[in-house]
Each structure stands twice: as C-alpha cells, then as structure tokens.
A and B are shown apart, each in its own frame.
Chain A
Amino acid sequence: MNERDIRHTHLTPDELEAAAETSAGLPEAVRGHVHSCASCAREVEGLRRLSAALAGLPSRAPSPGFADRVMARVTLPVPWHRQMAAAVRERTAAGLGVAATVAALLAGTGLWAFRFPDLSPAVVAGWLASHAGDLLWQGAIAAGRVAYGMGLTDLATVVQAEVSLASAFAALATIALVGVGAFSVMIRLVRQDPDQLARAR
C-alpha cells in the first residue's frame, strides 16, 4: 500500500478492505484515519459485517452419488506403459494362438510321417530342399512372364531413357515417405478407442 497523505481525503477501496480484514500490519496513517474519520469507520464496519455474512453462507451439496455419476463419464488418460502392457498382452494371446496352430500342424505332420515308416526325417528334408529350389525357380520365371505380358519391361526401358537416376530415387523416396506417413495415421486411427474419439468431439 503506497504511503500518501490521507489527512484530507478518505480511504481508497483497497485501504478500506485491508482495514476491514485486519488491523495488524496496517500503516499507522490508515489506522489513525479510521479512528478519526466517522465516515470511513462506518465503511470499514459495514464491510466487516458484509464479509462476515457472506463468509457465513452455507456451501451447498449436490445430490448423493454425484461423484459416481461424474466418474462414470470420465475417461482418464492411459499411461504409455499401460498401453504397452495391453499391446503385449494382445500380442501374447495372438502369439500363443499361432504357436498352438504351428504345434498342431507339426503334430499332424509327425503323425502322417509315422504312417510311412520308410520315410526318414533326412529323406523328407532332402525332398523339401530339392523341390523348394525348383518351385522358387519356376516362380521367378512366372513372375518375369507376367511382367513382360503387362509391359513392365518396356516401361522400365522408357523410364531409364527419360528419367535420371537421381530423379527416380527422389520420386521413390517421396512416395515411400508419404506411404509410411499415411500408414502410421491409419494405424493410429484403427487403434483409437471409438468412445474416446466420440467424447473428444
């Protein structure tokens, strides 16, 4: 509170309020003025009564069960470690399912193999290895035929002639970035809780 000459003026609203709240810590000039000025003394007393009456008004309570009703509508943020734990639990369940399926396939294959006692594991493995190579080679030839039939080899020749290597790399990098960004947005949308999305709107 700034010191000023209040001998010939009345107290400011701030000074009146300070005087109404407490006399301790009041500047001597203010305290002296309250004692000597009947008008300001009445103002201070009136303020005290009003403040006391307002402070005495009772607080009001909502109806019973209010907190339950509020909490039923509240969605608190889920911490990142709980989100990860939930994701791991989901993946664990899926992983267990895959493992059970593979185990069932292996068991079934084992049972089938036992019906043919002449087939040893080494013979089966060798057969798979030799035939897998043939299948891969024939798959590559088929893919080449399909590409030729679609005109992709001609397209590759045109691109090589018309577009520089740097431009091609830049274009591919841009497409890759856009693709990754769009993919991550899609993943976030898919993982978002629909109820939480509705509440946030």
Chain B
Amino acid sequence: MSYRERDDGELAGLARRGDERAARELVERFQRPVFSIVHRMVRDRELAEDLTQEAFVRTFNNLDRYDPSYKFSSWLFKIAYNLTVDHLRRKEVPTISIHGAPDAVTAERQQATSVTLESDEEAPDARLEAIELADELERAIATLREDYRTAILLRHVEGRPYEEIAEIMDIPLGTVKTYIFRARRQLRDELADVYDAPGE
C-alpha cells in the first residue's frame, strides 16, 4: 500500500517509528488546510508560512507525546491554532483591516497583508462577480474575533465536526456552537447587502 493510500493515523504511527516518508506525506496532506487557516488568521503570507512551518516541526518533534486515540489532524490543528493565537496576542494584531495591516507602509507590505482572493483561473465576466463576492466574504471574515474566526473557518472551510473543533480549540462543545452561531450572525450582518440575507 502506498503512503498516499494510508490514513492519517497509520502515517503518524509510522512517523513515530522514524519513517520520514510517512512524515513527509502528512506534511503534504495537511500543508494547504493548515496554511489556509493560519493565513486567514494573520493575513501575512510570510508570517503564515513561518507559523505553519513551526506548527509542523513542533508536531513531529514531539511525536512521542502524541496520543493515537486522538485524530492526528486535531493535534496538528491544535498546535497551529495555539501558535497563531499566541502570536496574535503578543502582537495585538487588530481584527479589522480592510486594505492591509495598519502598519503596512509599503505597497508590497500592503499587498501581502490585504485580504484578497487568490485565483489561478482566468475570470470570465460570469466568474468575476463570484470572485468579488468571495472577496467581500474574506474581508468580513477578517473582522471577526480570532476565536469566532477560527471556529467558523474550521467548521465551514475545513469541514471539521464540532467535536473536533472543541478539541482543537480546547473549549467546550457548547462554546464552539455559540462561537459559530455568533460568527455566522456577524457575517450575515456584514454581508446583508451582498447576499441578500436578512439581519436581525
């Protein structure tokens, strides 16, 4: 069986026994989802790469502490989340930033920290509107509190179940549901004009 066909738990077990190819497969499998979450949290590509890399390194360098009864993805996301939140709290990064971070003084830095949708496809007119709408959604997400943002990204972008989100964020299940409910409400209020969704 190739490494791509093995599930996360098997690969983690192999990596615990020193199998570098298994570890690499896990990195390639989770680099996009972890980076996506972290990037949407910190809105700085270079910083997001550093934090994501650090999350993976800490995960594998502490594999002897990993409990196989938990999902590997939960453990990895938990480490990434803690790293990101610690950074945000140390730097006191504001949650609201419409066109780049407040300290962005050069065009390059503004570009790196602004919330824009990246699309590799050519955008015919029909798609352009969808991209602009998604861009609005990204900016609305950036206005959320960090814990609301994490919860709703894990739930709706990464498709994680509530129980796993509770493990990752180390909060009760009820609190996860509250965060997601409030995040949705805030997003719908922010995007009421765009999505024609009623506010309260």
Q: Residues of A at under 8 Å CB distance from B?
A: 13-14, 42-43, 45-47, 49-51, 53-63, 66-67, 69-71, 73-79, 82, 199-200
Contacts and interface: CB of A to CB of B under 8 A. Distances in A.
Given A59-B32, A76-B60, A71 B24 contact: yes
Contact of A50 (B48, B117, B188): B188
Interface stretch (B87-95, B106-114, B133-141): B133-141
A49 B196 CA distance: 10
Given A45-B197, A76-B60, 10 more contacts: A13-B177, A50-B197, A54-B137, A58-B119, A59-B33, A60-B32, A62-B31, A62-B49, A74-B60, A78-B18
Nearest to B34: A62
Contacts of B52: 62, 66
A34 B40 CA distance: 34
A77 B49 contact: no
Overall SS of chain B's interface? helix
A57 B23 contact: no
Contact of B36 (A60, A66, A73, A77): A60
Question: Considering residues A51, A73, A200, which has the most beta carbons from chain B within 10 angstroms of its beta carbon?
Answer: A73
Contacts of B198: 42-43, 46
B27 A50 contact: no
Overall SS of chain A's interface? helix
B139 to A, nearest CB: 12
Which bracket fits the contact residues of B? 35 or more
Contacts, number: 114
A46 B27 contact: no
A21 B57 CA distance: 36
B15 interface: yes
B181 A13 contact: yes
Contact of B63 (A42, A59, A60, A76): A76
B195 interface: yes
A106 to B, nearest CB: 42
Nearest to B63: A77
Given A60-B39, A66-B49, A79 B157 contact: no
Question: Considering residues A49, A59, A200, which has the most beta carbons from chain B within 10 angstroms of its beta carbon?
Answer: A59
Given A50-B187, A54-B152, A57-B157, A77 B16 contact: yes
B197 A46 contact: yes
Contacts of A82: 18
B6 interface: no
19 contacts: A13-B181, A46-B198, A49-B197, A50-B184, A50-B188, A50-B195, A54-B156, A61-B32, A62-B35, A62-B52, A74-B20, A74-B61, A75-B61, A76-B19, A76-B20, A77-B17, A77-B18, A199-B61, A200-B61
A49 B118 contact: no
A5 to B, nearest CB: 23
